Structure 1
Amino acid sequence: MITRRRIVLVIMLMTMYQAVFAVLIYVQTGPPYHSKSKKRIIYLLCSLTAPSFICFFIVVVATSFLVINLKQTMKNRSKISSSTSDKGMSKERKVVRPVIFICAIFIVCFFPNVSKLLATIVYPKFTLLDPYLGWLSNIFYTITPVFQSISSSTNIFVYYHMSTKFKETFRAAFCKEDVKS
């Protein structure tokens, strides 16, 4: 299902999608660029908000299916197999656990961003300048990049902690020990 050709095609489509809206924002709306015309708001919504929502919900749905499928597979295997296949189920758990953990980190860390975007769509005055909700908006705008940074930087530690093979490869590549003569 996932081939090199399809990945290249998807990356090219995403790049073209963003380029089209970047051009539309500056060409069609025209100066002044700080104005809040309807077209500009729609273009920003399509170029920034829509991809964030799509990625977030794809990860949520895929993780849910992964967990449900894993539980069903393990239940079916335990019914059919004997006690000797516990090693196979243990191996399967070791493979899936980091993936689920990283997806959970992504979901938790990107939830403030998705909440902020939803709040802005539902209540367009949800900005820093709003006299009533400006403080809440300020909190969201402050913590969102922090949570996104945490999500981006924790993957290597999760894999290092949960995967023996990754740990060995990482140590071989970056932790070269001095050779005694």
Structure 2
Amino acid sequence: MVLYQMGTLVPHYLYIGLTHATSPLTNKTVLVFDLLKYNERIGVLSLLLSFSLPTLVCFILVTLGTLILVARLRHSAELRSSSAVKRPLRIASKERSVATSVIGICVIYIVCLSPNVGFILVATAFPRFFYSDSVYGNATVFILTVASVFQSVSASVNLFVYLRMMSKYKAVLTKLFLSAKREKTV
């Protein structure tokens, strides 16, 4: 996915023009963006392919996957309740706990990605809905800011849910962030 995003951003960065500009106050020469050389259509198409398309695909897959998971869980619960052989209560409660955690993560993802998906759909329907537009610019920046906060909340909640779910995640995360006690090697 990272390679796909990097590949789709290549045209965007190729068409950003850099030129030398000299400041009349300090007499320093610096590189600045030359917006006259920048092709906005290529930039918008590149950003659409790089960020919007993967976001929409992931959102649709998670939404459909959650619906299928809920339907299968209901179906298996009905089969379990109608079967003559009863499973132990401990296994059923463990399955229910894992299913609830997975569904919770999916719901959090769907809710927190909704501002991004809404922005993508509105920007597709109304091309003037762009941050550089004089009418819709402030609304665009506000929606993107809210979307960023929602994505941060989603990532934080997922981290804590995974930490609570299994001890394997705890071990990996403590090793990753070096908060585990290191054994002294002599």
Same-fold call, TM cutoff 0.5: yes
The residue type equivalent to 2:144 in the other structure is Y
Q: Distance in 1 between matches of 2:7 and 2:170?
A: 44
**Superposed CA RMSD:** 2.9
User: Could you tell me whether the CA contact under 8 Å between 1:25 and 1:40 is conserved in 2?
Assistant: yes
Q: Any idea what the Cα deviations from partners look like across 1:135-178, whole Å, max 9, x if unmatched?
A: 432320221111111111112322344x37469869x98687xx
SS at 1:76 equivalent: helix
* Residue 91 (structure 2) aligned to one of 82, 88, 93: 88
Q: Whose strand proportion is higher, 1 or 2?
A: 2
* Residue 138 (structure 1) aligned to one of 141, 154, 160: 141
Corresponding pairs, count:
160
**Are residue 18 (structure 1) and residue 5 (structure 2) matched?**
yes
Q: Whose helix proportion is higher, 1 or 2?
A: 1
**Are residue 52 (structure 1) and residue 39 (structure 2) matched?**
no
SS at 1:35 equivalent: coil
Query: Structure 1: which 5+ runs fail to align?
Result: 1-13, 177-181
User: Could you tell me whether the CA contact under 8 Å between 1:159 and 1:166 is conserved in 2?
Assistant: no
The residue type equivalent to 1:150 in the other structure is V
Counterparts of 1:105-116 in structure 2 under 5 Å?
A: 105-116=108-119
TM-score, normalised by the number of residues in structure 2: 0.71
Runs ≥4 residues deviating over 4 A: 164-170, 172-176
Q: Over alpha carbons, which structure has the higher Rg?
A: 2
* Residue 158 (structure 1) aligned to one of 143, 157, 161: 161
Query: By how many angstroms is 1:78 displaced?
Result: 1.1
Q: Which sits farther off after the overlay, 80-89 or 141-150?
A: 80-89
Query: Structure 2: which 5+ runs fail to align?
Result: 18-33, 182-186
* Residue 35 (structure 1) aligned to one of 33, 38, 49: 38
Q: Distance in 2 between matches of 1:156 and 1:164?
A: 11
The residue type equivalent to 2:94 in the other structure is K
TM-score, normalised by the number of residues in structure 1: 0.73
SS at 2:38 equivalent: coil
* Residue 124 (structure 1) aligned to one of 104, 123, 127: 127
Relative distance call for 1:168 and 1:133 in structure 2 (3 A) is closer
